[in-house]
Amino acid sequence: MAERFRIAIVGSGPGGMSAAARAAELGVSHILLEAEPHLSNTIYRYQKGKHVMAEPDALPLRSPLTFAAGTREKILGEWDQGIAKVKTHVAHGHEVSSITRQAAGHFEIK
């Protein structure tokens, strides 16, 4: 991929998704790089129906994504909808092997 973005986020866990959704919401050029064919692989691999906690319960976020306890399916569904709603640029199947600093504060991601 030889594209250029202002922000590159590696991994689509809750933090990565939140950062990417916020960038999308603000209209900042961004990409969310995820090795797997789905978002939030750790929670995705939980058994069906598993209750996922939302701790701490008071977390000031600057992201349009919801952050609440619920079943694995409910949380993943809400995150998928939120990511799509703000038009987050997600690249699935992109495992990052290196990040190299280039001139003038630019980085090359492989």
Q: Tell me the pTM.
A: 0.87
**Residue 32 burial (CB count, 10 A):** 26
pLDDT surpasses 60 at 1: no
Quote the CA–CA distance of 16 and 46 in Å, as a whole number: 19
- Would residue 13 count as lying in a domain? yes
Number of domains making up the chain: 1
- Would residue 67 count as lying in a domain? yes
- Would residue 14 count as lying in a domain? yes
- Would residue 73 count as lying in a domain? yes
pLDDT surpasses 80 at 9: yes
List Cβ<8 Å contacts ≥24 apart for 69-73: 72/43, 72/44, 72/46, 72/47, 72/48, 73/48, 73/49
List Cβ<8 Å contacts ≥24 apart for 70-73: 72/43, 72/44, 72/46, 72/47, 72/48, 73/48, 73/49
- Would residue 90 count as lying in a domain? yes
- Would residue 54 count as lying in a domain? yes
Q: Mean of the pLDDT values across residues 82-97?
A: 96
- Would residue 1 count as lying in a domain? no
- Would residue 96 count as lying in a domain? yes
Q: Mean of the pLDDT values across residues 82-100?
A: 96
Which domain covers residue 82, as residue numbers? 7-105
pLDDT surpasses 90 at 3: no
Instruction: Please report which confidence band the pLDDT of residue 60 belongs to, taking 50, 70 and 90 as the band edges.
Output: low
Q: What is the pLDDT of residues 62-88, one digit of tens each?
A: 788 888 889 999 999 999 999 999 999
